[in-house]
Chains A and B, each alone.
Chain A
Amino acid sequence: MNSILSNAGPSWPHRWRMALAFAVGLFLVGAPLQAQQTGTVTGNVNDAQSGAILPSVQVYLVGSGLGTLTNNNGRYLIVNVPAGSYTLRAERLGYATQDMQIEVTGGGTVTQDFSLESEALGLDEIVVTGTAGAARRREVGNTISQVDVADLPDNPTNVDGLLQARIPGMSVMQTSGNAGGGAKIRLRGNVSVAQSNQPLIYIDGVRMRSDAFHKNVPPTGYPGRSGNDVASPLNNINPDDIARIEVIKGAAATTLYGTEAAAGVIQIFTKRGHQGQARWNASIEQGFQRLQKFGVDPGLRPSSEAAETSAGGTSDYVFINPWLRDAYQQKYSLSVSGGGDALQYFVSGSYSDDEGVLPNDQQTTSTVRGNFTFSPLENLQLQWNTSYTNDEFFNTAAGNNAHGLTLNVFRRDANYRGSEAREDIDPLLGQTISTQIDHLITGGTATWTPRTNFTNRLSIGYDLAQQNNRNLRPFGFALAQNGILSDGRSEFETLTFDYVGTLSFDLTGSIGSALSFGGQSVTTETQQTVAYGEDFPGPGDPTVTTAGTKLGFELRERVVNAGFFAQNVFDISDKYFITVGGRVDGNSAFGEDFGLQFYPKVSGSWVVSDESFWSMDGSQLKLRAAWGESGRAPGAFDAVQTYDGVGWGGVPAFFPRVLGNADLGPERTAEWEMGFDGSFLDNRLSLDFTYYNQTTSEALFAVRQAPSTGFIDVNGGNSQLENVGEINNQGIEIAANYQVIQGREWSWDIGTSISTNQSEAGLPEEVANISVGGNGWIIDGEPVPVIRGFKVMNPDAIADPDIQPDQIYGPNAPTQIIGVHSSLTMPGGILLSVRGEYQGGHYVTQGVAINAIGRSVIWPGCYEAYAIAGTDVSQGPLSATDPGYDQLTASQRARCNPNLAEGEFWAEPADFFKLRQVTLQFPVPEAWIPGTAGANLTLSGQNLWRWTNDEWTHYDPEMGGNSDNNAISRDGVSNGDFLVTSISEHIPVPATFTVALRVNF
């Protein structure tokens, strides 16, 4: 101290030197004193039953603003805790919260372990989907499915894959093996024929586009000059950012989302920050995709058929194997979360670069996200979530595309190249189909609680996606010598305003009430401009400007939906809950106002296990029932007679567009459901059951008009939307999970989800049956849709086929979906997880087969017939003059004789089982990666194995769904699009193998 003062210099007044000495002394003394005034809290958290370590448990000092999450080893550490007494709380989804009282001393370390009791049912968990604001699960009268994504061990490549086989009543069909392709999602079947059946999607309360992006196809000419698949906005979300997903499936639950919600709602919640020190997560993922066999065993081929094509193709891959590759996959992710009392954050970024199994397929995706929670006042919380995704992918021309690779390979030497030789087909790879999507989703929520019983939540969301589709067949391209280019820019905007207020009060001592009210406004805008050019002067990288013929196309559309709702939840003794509510929606259309529509709901739940008579310890049971209505408005201007300006050789010309229907209104879907949520056997068995019955009345059907009236649009359509008939869906959903072994070293659980769906159309007599393509029909009294057409009535007879028209095959959508899953935890924390799914009861037409057989292609699906008939395939296909023809069954003759074959003969039962995912996870000792708080190594495989029923000949029953020949599908999704699944010239989704190293620090 004196040396310090003396060094301060002789000019310093004495009092300043003393002050400095005091300050220095204070600092020197104060620091250790400060250190002596804070302590550390640490410990482990495990499962009370099994003893297994529990990562991602929130551990915090109540009221202090200090806390953290347990790492992969179940350990937590809170530093710089001021000395004092605290309540230390541990909580995690699926477990009962536990509090411990601790005393922290300065410089000391408190070690406090937790053993959390599992809570299978989680009746006090908060759910937000389908409720006005937040509600506890015990209060909700409808079923809500939840996927806790953060705890999943596997490495999902996208959200579609993550959702497969997890939620009863949900089918997720990935329609092709193309890079960038999205899935078709259905909840409880098809609720509409004329409108989209994709569920609404919300992410952190922000509504985002749920329908597919525009297909990358030129705006004129044949509508299949493309890769013939469409991208899904859902896959712009990084699965690593997702904390959990809630799904509600029917009108009974979606009422508060009003119009457009009849097909269900998917709510995605991304990860948030936490109070405590920053926690980093990094992952490196490497892997590859490989296409499995999907054709016919080459051993079945007739002796006159060569083992390989000249290109080296074999029938087990329908001859495309020379063009396939093992597709390298790589993904890198980094995230950090943490925060303090007033501000918590979660920031992440990822980069992936994936090849596809087809030669031109490639996809590169980059995402960044920032989620911030800010509490400037005690009763005000602000959340702001923003993500940006850049998704760029290239596709190989595929599908029912005469300029594409797959069609020309499958059709062998009857293709559009006149040859199956490699050198004749390879030039088709010279086209570029590139898609770039920039997707911004941002939104904020302000939650203001001026009083403890009055909560206000205001959300504003903005979803903006910009898509650039470039589709080039260059100068000199084999099948378009002068070249063709289309360059389309699309922009999709969704702007959401959402307010919910909840006022809670007691009506009596045992009856509480929570009144919720609010409104929502959703504005969607779509803009598209496409430049098209053909006939380029020479080779090189062209622009539309350099084309000899240039065309321009434009689409602009804006639709506003707005509504108000009110709901009251009556809480009787915290055991009986009755919810009554309703919503009023408005939707404007050009020249006609549909008026306001009212959608009511009522539901109830009873927590039986809280009754005094309930004697089953370690179990819980909630009974529930719900009824509600939702609706779907027709498109803008569907009610008004309109014409199109179609042009004719450069001069203006009108063509009919929409006939108009002044009585047109929204379709309404009413649903009731009932069931229970239960956990039994000391919470080892969880069981959910739901029966639902859903009817869409005043259903919008595109009713065909008599063509002789002449009002037929430029695409040959002559139907008008009318509110006629009904669509009914009913079925059951069961989710069960059983903890077979609960031990410290070993644990094993198995589970299943079972759902059924029986659908039926109701059409009045005066309405003709409606064709929806792919041999799919809407017929009174039949499933929606049903496969109908010519049918061989004596299939197994050794005779000529007896063919009758207009015969029903069966439903096109699965009527039973069964998911199975199991997880085995072994000593050392090694985890093995398996998930599979069965779908069945439906029929799918193998359009690819008839497209080939009708051209006299030697088709692998007919190998058996060729062999029996003794067909010399080197001379041609099956013929009635073949020596053994009369030994064939009627079905074989009908399907494989080109002179008899019809597409419907190839409608086959599509029952299948797939091993969706197998994952093996190893914890990595901390010593192996110094400086980290834990790591694990995960080996994962998706779509590894497929079983199909005996009558299914080739390809994958989940393929198809993108109607290649549907001109309307040029825009991705439109009326009735994606309604029918049929197999066209695509490849199935390949198997994926990945290894991922995830590190926390």
Chain B
Amino acid sequence: MKSTNTHRADRGCTSRRATSGLRGLLALGLAFGVAACDTDVVNPGPIAGDFLDSPDAQAAITNGAGRALGDAMNWISYTSASVAREIHPSGSTGSFGITPEQQRGELNNDEVNTHWENVHRARFMVEDGLDRIDQLEAGEQDDEVLAQLYLWGGYTYRLAGESLCEAVIDGGSAQDHGVFFTRAIELFDQAASLGTGDVRTAAVAGRASVKVWQGDWAGALADAGSVPDDFSYVMPYYDIGDDNQGNRLYIAAKSEPYKAHSQWSTWVEGYGMSEDTPDGDPRVPYTITGTVGDASTSCCGEVPFNPQTKYENDDAAIELSSGPEMRLLEAENALFNDSDMATAVAIINELRADAGVDPIAPASMTEAQMMFLREHAIEQWLEARRLPALWRWNEAGVPLETLLQPLEQVGDGNIQTGSHLQERDFCFPISEGEEQTNPNVG
């Protein structure tokens, strides 16, 4: 009945020599030692940072930078579209949703952590990649890949400069967001120099859009002039079972399950093309579902769910640069810098003709400016560019309260009769997470 695990056991305390026992112990110890010697730890999957210094890693580094930029654009385009009233909230406030504050037009620092992080990750991927590729031997660098990395970098810094109120770099103190544009120009320059074909043209177009922010209209127009009308360079998204790689604006409204935004009570409703407005502008399409959004909105309860159809699948790309964008830069310059209404209207009407839409015939400069602002809204709808443009024009003193369409303006407090936007923040502030972890800004 003896067992070391029974509740009672006899214990002997007799003093004995244990020589033979020790010999046995030594044998056991050796056996144990052999058994315990294999301490190899296997964890395949993570990749040691050192590997990224290898020439073989250039492409994946560049792709990572591209994906990071795509993630950043994905989040900013969606949230800024709500605040710019390119879309109207129709429910979800959580995942793939629009928070109540953002529904009102606020961009608060505790709700922009992901946006802030995504932009900075994209910036890190570019700079880290460039540092690593710079270390390679002459002849090991792949110019085509490097040019692409420079291009992603240019767009990343453009996104940062256009979207973030202030620049914070690598845990430093806050600076004017213009520093992002300075870096963007440097990277576009490199991309244009090293790249070929569409990469080069995109770099030139991107550079033009940044120079406008710097007030370098001459430089911007010089670049814009070399971009063909039909040029388009996009940020791709993918329908591969990973929502992070899919077009977020689309996913948020594809009814599986979210029905988070609508074109109801936006300037698009009634103007764009839909079942109710078959002759509407095909560049701003939407659909009438006859249902309501997935939750009540903070302003208006349940609202009709009439989502955009510009993006019709997870893999719908978002445009980064285009020929029409360049034409609008030229029109803006003509209208606001040169007071040349005729040139501006001609440019706009050429774009409208290409789209199969009736031309505009403004009767006054003010009307022309209003129509230009609408044309800009159409051309760059849901591309993370509208809110930055509003910011730039506001900074430049453009009277948005006069020139914007009513439903795009900040309301007068009466949401029953006017815009449901109660205020508008033009940019994403320093995130709460940054303030909590960075002593230079906290």
Question: Residues of A with Cβ closer than 8 Å to B?
Answer: 58, 60, 67, 91-93, 97, 122, 124-126, 128, 133-134, 136, 220-222, 269, 272, 274-275, 373, 375, 381, 383, 402-403, 411, 414-416, 418, 447, 450-458, 479-481, 497, 499, 501, 503-506, 512, 517-519, 521, 525, 532-534, 549-551, 554-560, 562, 571, 586-591, 636-637, 640-646, 648-658, 660, 704-712, 714, 716, 718, 766, 768-769, 851, 854-856, 876-877, 898-899, 965
B100 at the binding interface (Cβ < 8 Å): yes
Q: Which residues of A contact B236 (CB under 8 A)?
A: 649
Pick the contact of A58 from B1, B45, B127 — CB < 8 Å? B1
With A and B bound together, what is the CA distance between A706 and B435 in angstroms? 8
Given contacts A402-B258, A898-B296, contact A134 B4 (CB under 8 A): yes
Interface residues of B in 139-190 (CB under 8 A from A): 168-172
Can you spell out 5 A-B residue pairs with CB atoms less than 8 angstroms apart? A381-B4, A453-B13, A642-B47, A643-B48, A657-B46
Contact B124 A588 (CB under 8 A): no
Q: Which residues of A contact B32 (CB under 8 A)?
A: 497, 499, 518-519, 521
| Residue with the greatest number of chain A CB neighbours at <10 A, chosen from B16, B41, B61 | B41
Contact A710 B64 (CB under 8 A): no
Contact B8 A97 (CB under 8 A): yes
With A and B bound together, what is the CA distance between A650 and B118 in angstroms? 21
Contact B1 A650 (CB under 8 A): no
B117 at the binding interface (Cβ < 8 Å): yes
With A and B bound together, what is the CA distance between A719 and B93 in angstroms? 26
The interface bits of chain B over 275-316 (1 if a CB of A lies within 8 angstroms of the residue's CB, else 0) are: 000000000000000011011101001100000000000000
The interface bits of chain B over 364-379 (1 if a CB of A lies within 8 angstroms of the residue's CB, else 0) are: 0000000000000000
Contact A708 B169 (CB under 8 A): yes
Q: Which residues of B contact A533 (CB under 8 A)?
A: 241
Pick the contact of B437 from A456, A707, A965 — CB < 8 Å? A707
Q: Which residues of B contact A501 (CB under 8 A)?
A: 25, 28
With A and B bound together, what is the CA distance between A216 and B138 in angstroms? 50
Q: Which residues of A contact B124 (CB under 8 A)?
A: 656, 709-712
Q: Which residues of B contact A711 (CB under 8 A)?
A: 121, 124
Contact A453 B18 (CB under 8 A): yes
With A and B bound together, what is the CA distance between A558 and B44 in angstroms? 9
The interface bits of chain B over 58-97 (1 if a CB of A lies within 8 angstroms of the residue's CB, else 0) are: 0111011011101000000000000000000001011100
B431 at the binding interface (Cβ < 8 Å): yes
Pick the contact of A586 from B39, B237, B298 — CB < 8 Å? B39
Contact A126 B60 (CB under 8 A): no
Q: Which residues of A contact B258 (CB under 8 A)?
A: 402, 416
Q: Which residues of A contact B292 (CB under 8 A)?
A: 418
With A and B bound together, what is the CA distance between A590 and B51 in angstroms? 14
B12 at the binding interface (Cβ < 8 Å): yes
Question: Residues of B with Cβ closer than 8 Å to A?
Answer: 1-9, 11-16, 18, 20-21, 24-25, 28-29, 32, 35-36, 38-49, 51-52, 57, 59-61, 63-64, 66-68, 70, 91, 93-95, 100, 113-114, 116-118, 120-125, 127-128, 168-172, 236-245, 255-258, 291-292, 294-296, 298, 301-302, 431, 433-434, 436-439
Pick the contact of A649 from B12, B20, B120, B238 — CB < 8 Å? B238
Residue ID in chain B nearest A450 by CB atoms: B21
Contact B117 A718 (CB under 8 A): yes
Contact A126 B35 (CB under 8 A): no
Pick the contact of B4 from A128, A525, A660 — CB < 8 Å? A128
With A and B bound together, what is the CA distance between A652 and B243 in angstroms? 17
Q: Which residues of A contact B433 (CB under 8 A)?
A: 704, 707, 718
Known: A272-B5, A556-B44, A716-B114. 13 other contacts (CB 8 A): A60-B1, A451-B18, A456-B24, A479-B257, A506-B13, A519-B29, A588-B40, A644-B45, A645-B60, A649-B240, A705-B437, A710-B120, A876-B296
Contact A503 B59 (CB under 8 A): no
Pick the contact of B13 from A60, A571, A965 — CB < 8 Å? A571
Q: Shortest Cβ distance from A903 into chain B, in angstroms? A: 11
Q: Which residues of B contact A450 (CB under 8 A)?
A: 20-21, 24
Residue ID in chain B nearest A718 by CB atoms: B117
Q: Shortest Cβ distance from B161 into chain A, in angstroms? A: 14
Given contacts A558-B41, A558-B42, contact A418 B291 (CB under 8 A): yes
Pick the contact of B5 from A126, A503, A766 — CB < 8 Å? A126
Contact B296 A708 (CB under 8 A): no
Contact B41 A560 (CB under 8 A): yes
Pick the contact of A710 from B6, B51, B170, B238 — CB < 8 Å? B170
Contact A709 B171 (CB under 8 A): yes
Q: Which residues of B contact A518 (CB under 8 A)?
A: 32
Given contacts A851-B94, A854-B93, contact A504 B49 (CB under 8 A): no
Q: Shortest Cβ distance from A635 into chain B, in angstroms? A: 9
Q: Which residues of B contact A58 (CB under 8 A)?
A: 1
Q: Shortest Cβ distance from A633 into chain B, in angstroms? A: 11
Contact A456 B436 (CB under 8 A): no
Contact A706 B434 (CB under 8 A): yes
With A and B bound together, what is the CA distance between A373 and B42 in angstroms? 37
Residue ID in chain B nearest A507 by CB atoms: B15
Contact B5 A128 (CB under 8 A): yes
Contact A641 B16 (CB under 8 A): no
Q: Shortest Cβ distance from A383 into chain B, in angstroms? A: 8
Q: Which residues of B contact A126 (CB under 8 A)?
A: 4-9
Given contacts A560-B39, A590-B41, A708-B171, contact A452 B46 (CB under 8 A): no
Residue ID in chain A nearest B246 by CB atoms: A221
Contact B47 A643 (CB under 8 A): yes
Contact B47 A557 (CB under 8 A): no
With A and B bound together, what is the CA distance between A93 and B9 in angstroms? 12
Q: Which residues of A contact B25 (CB under 8 A)?
A: 456, 501, 517
Q: Which residues of A contact B48 (CB under 8 A)?
A: 590-591, 640-643
Contact B121 A416 (CB under 8 A): no
| Residue with the greatest number of chain B CB neighbours at <10 A, chosen from A58, A447, A653 | A653
Contact A381 B43 (CB under 8 A): no
Contact B296 A704 (CB under 8 A): no
Pick the contact of B168 from A517, A551, A656, A708 — CB < 8 Å? A708
Residue ID in chain A nearest B38 by CB atoms: A560
With A and B bound together, what is the CA distance between A222 and B248 in angstroms? 13
With A and B bound together, what is the CA distance between A656 and B121 in angstroms? 8
Given contacts A58-B1, A590-B41, contact A655 B68 (CB under 8 A): yes
Residue ID in chain A nearest B35 by CB atoms: A497
With A and B bound together, what is the CA distance between A492 and B256 in angstroms? 34
Q: Which residues of A contact B170 (CB under 8 A)?
A: 706, 708-710
Contact A769 B436 (CB under 8 A): yes
Residue ID in chain A nearest B439 by CB atoms: A766
With A and B bound together, what is the CA distance between A559 and B38 in angstroms? 10
With A and B bound together, what is the CA distance between A597 and B244 in angstroms? 42
Q: Which residues of A contact B21 (CB under 8 A)?
A: 450-451, 454, 503
Given contacts A506-B15, A643-B52, A851-B94, contact A67 B1 (CB under 8 A): yes
Contact B121 A712 (CB under 8 A): yes
Contact B2 A551 (CB under 8 A): no
Contact B294 A418 (CB under 8 A): yes
Q: Which residues of A contact B169 (CB under 8 A)?
A: 708
With A and B bound together, what is the CA distance between A556 and B14 in angstroms? 51
Q: Which residues of B contact A651 (CB under 8 A)?
A: 59-60, 63
Residue ID in chain A nearest B91 by CB atoms: A855
Q: Which residues of B contact A134 (CB under 8 A)?
A: 4-5, 9
Residue ID in chain A nearest B14 by CB atoms: A453
In the A-B complex, list the 6 residue pairs whose CB atoms are closest, starting with the nearest.
A710-B124, A856-B296, A653-B63, A416-B257, A855-B295, A642-B46
Q: Shortest Cβ distance from A664 into chain B, in angstroms? A: 14
With A and B bound together, what is the CA distance between A238 and B357 in angstroms? 74
Contact B100 A504 (CB under 8 A): no
With A and B bound together, what is the CA distance between A469 and B149 in angstroms? 40
Residue ID in chain B nearest A378 by CB atoms: B2
Q: Which residues of B contact A877 (CB under 8 A)?
A: 296
Residue ID in chain B nearest A563 by CB atoms: B36
With A and B bound together, what is the CA distance between A221 and B256 in angstroms? 12
Contact B242 A551 (CB under 8 A): yes
Q: Shortest Cβ distance from B75 into chain A, in angstroms? A: 10
With A and B bound together, what is the CA distance between A342 and B65 in angstroms? 70
